Amino acid sequence: MNIKLMNTVSAGALLVVGLASAAKAENLTLCWAAWDPANALVELSKDFEAKSGHTMSFEFVPWPNFADRMLNELNSGGQLCDLMIGDSQWIGSGAESGHYVKLNDFFDANGISMSDFIPATVTGYSEWPKNTPNYWALPAFGDVVGWTYRRDWFERPEIQEEFQKTFGRPLAIPATLEELKQIAQFFQGREIDGKTVYGAAIYTERGSEGITMGVTNALYNFGFLYENPEKPYDLEGFVNSDGAVAGLEFYKDLYETGAPPGSSNWYMGENIDAYKSGQVAMQMNFAFIWPGVNADPNVGGDRSGYFANPPGPAGQFAQLGGQGISVVAYSTKQEAALEYIKWFAQPDVQAKWWELGGYSALKAVVEDPDFASSQPYAQTFLDSMAIVKDFWAEPAYADLLLAMQEKVHDYVIAGNGTAKEALDGLVVEWTEIFEDEGKI
């Protein structure tokens, strides 16, 4: 409690921050994952250096090690990072553990309004508690799970003809999850250009968060809920509802009948490699990969298309990705770090961010009349961000995630037990975690 109060006062004492206002030039370190958007941010930040007089250093950690490395840094009170682009699920711990500076007063003093950002990104990346006006980050990178497909394969006359005969409908972007599975099954083991190909690369990785970020795109759309909407932390009958069981069974069937052999531990990188090398007709992946797909010499341009996660029996949702940018409470350079936040929030900077390959969450950028046609995947990004849900952002997020990774992977990939048993077991483990947290 004392740490949080100190952080709030610290932010309040820096209300008059403006570019080039710091007493001295600082070298700021921004911590994030090592991926293509980080390279774009390095380029973007050159403008901040020129205008502010500060210099920027970057600590980028590969995704498989990102959470362990950065959460250890925060939990130890380390001063490596002045700015942190932390995962969306970290916001509860960042707030309650005193890792992040509360930004409300700073936002108010500098004319930064959360109503100017896509609502889902504010809830997902900035708020704690959720759905309250308490802000610990600025939405930095909008991201969501969607799908990429080989448009050139879908449009081949001979493939179109065979699909029409088999399913009685044209081969096109799937209108439902069931249609997606049928398309994956149709391509599974098919020979195209002398090469055996497969249906869909999906998330199956167990070690970090992969299979959870994948299976939720089925679970949500079959009726899975994290808790009783009327009673927080009441899990029975929601996590393990009949719809949730059907969604988990669907994902297992998709894996067994439509995914490449040997894909039992795949996440973002493996899916990208499989798609770009021509192994699969479709891939599940976060939207951040789309600029790279579009530019790829083998699958780019008109050879690929993009679509939002299709609906299931209970609606249409997609797993939220992305991150907010926070000022680390242990930084000795908070004034300069807040200057960076103010600079980054500017509409012209956000527009440049999109041009460089970053996914802006600012309404002024994504609601511009020209946005949807600015890239082949821009409309799919908008459609996807309108249907997002996110995993728990509780301070105990890591324990909650580990439990789900284990239960889901053991059923979907290892084939142990039933879907009902997996979700019943998840209810038991999550309930114990929340009891230990004093939430129930």
Pair of tokens at residue 424:
């019943």
The pLDDT value recorded for residue 74 is 97
Residue 364 pLDDT > 90: yes
In this prediction, residue 438 carries a pLDDT of 96
pLDDT band at 135 (very low <50, low <70, confident <90, very high): very high
The H or E element containing residue 13 is none
Q: Comparing 2-143+321-389 with 145-319, is the CATH topology the same? A: yes
**In the predicted model, is pLDDT for residue 404 greater than 60?**
yes
CA angle 175, 372, 275 (to 5 degrees): 55
pLDDT 10s digits, 265-324: 999 999 999 999 999 999 999 999 999 999 999 999 999 999 999 999 999 999 999 999
With a cut of 90, say whether residue 4 has pLDDT above it.
Answer: no
Of the listed ranges 3-17, 118-132, 201-215, 309-323, the one predicted with least confidence:
3-17
Q: How far is Cα 58 from Cα 37, in angstroms, rounded to an integer? A: 13
Q: Does residue 162 sit in helix, strand or coil?
A: helix
- 4: its two tokens: 């949080």
What are the E-state strand segments in 314-386? 318-327
Give the residue ranges of DSSP H helices in 145-267.
151-154, 157-167, 177-187, 210-222, 242-258
- Report, as an integer, the average pLDDT of 92-117: 98
Residue 9 — pLDDT band, cuts 50, 70, 90?
very low
What per-residue confidence (pLDDT) applies to 23?
52
Give yes or no for a contact between 7 and 320, defined as CB atoms under 8 angstroms apart: no
Please spell the DSSP secondary structure of 89-157, one letter per residue: GGHHHHHHTT-B---HHHHHHTT--GGGB-HHHIIIIIBSSTTSS-BS-EEEEEEEEEEEEEHHHHT-H
CATH number for domain 145-319, candidates 3.40.190.10, 3.40.50.620, 3.30.43.10, 2.40.37.10: 3.40.190.10
Token duo for residue 187: 């391509």
* Residue 162 phi, psi dihedral angles, 5° rounding: -65, -40
b/e sequence 41-77, b meaning 16+ C-beta within 10 Å: beebbeebeeebebebebbbbebbebbeebbebbeee
Mean per-residue pLDDT, 41-62: 98
In this prediction, what percent of the chain has a pLDDT beyond 70? 95
For residue 166, the 8-state DSSP code is: H
Lowest mean pLDDT among 22-36, 174-188, 202-216: 22-36
Determine the Cα–Cα distance for residues 192 and 28; give it in Å rounded to an integer: 51
pLDDT tens digits, 203-219: 999 999 999 999 999 99
pLDDT class of 64 with cuts at 50, 70, 90: confident
pLDDT at residue 6 tops 50: no
Whether residue 84 is predicted with pLDDT greater than 50 in this model: the reply is yes
* Secondary structure (3-state) at 231: strand
pLDDT of 7 higher than 70: no
Fold of domain 2-143+321-389: D-Maltodextrin-Binding Protein; domain 2 (3.40.190)
Rounded CA-CA distance 3/99 in Å is 9
Task: Give the C-alpha separation, 178 to 62, whole Å.
Answer: 34
Q: Domain residues of the chain, as ranges?
A: 2-143+321-389, 145-319
- Taking alpha carbons only, the member of 289, 265, 287, 266 closest to residue 276 is 289
Per-residue pLDDT tens over the stretch 421-432: 999 999 999 999
Decide: helix, strand or coil at residue 167. helix
pLDDT of residue 1: 31
Share of the chain above pLDDT 90, in %: 94
The pTM for the full model equals: 0.93
| Residue position matching structure tokens 């040997």 | 262
Q: How does the average pLDDT of the chain come out, rounded?
A: 94
Tell whether the model's pLDDT for residue 20 goes beyond 50: no
